[in-house]
Amino acid sequence: MSHLFILLIMYAGIGLFVLKHVMQYSNYHEAFFPGITLGIIATIIHVVIRQSDQKKENKEDQIM
């Protein structure tokens, strides 16, 4: 569970940084909620991809 929290914080920080500097929001307050939203979406995508990779590995182990 702490792994998910760390991922969420990391991706939210990256999203906030990208929105502040690349999208040129005037301050961090404007970029806060969109940055958090990007962090949540990135965390969900990361977890889904990781779970699908684990399922593939389990199937390969069962075949061998």
Nearest to 12 by CA among 4, 25, 51: 4
**Site of tokens 């929290």:** 5
pLDDT tens column, 24-48: 777 778 888 888 888 899 999 999 9
Whether 31 and 12 have beta carbons less than 8 Å apart is answered as: no
The confidence score (pLDDT) of residue 49 equals 92
Phi, psi torsion values for 29, nearest 5 degrees:
-65, -35
Please give the mean pLDDT across all residues of the chain: 84
Domain assignment of residue 55, given as a range = 2-63
Amino acid at 14: I
What pTM did the predictor assign?
0.73
pLDDT over threshold 80, residue 60: no
Q: What is the average per-residue pLDDT within 7-35? A: 84
The count of domains in the chain is: 1
Above pLDDT 90, what percent of the chain? 9
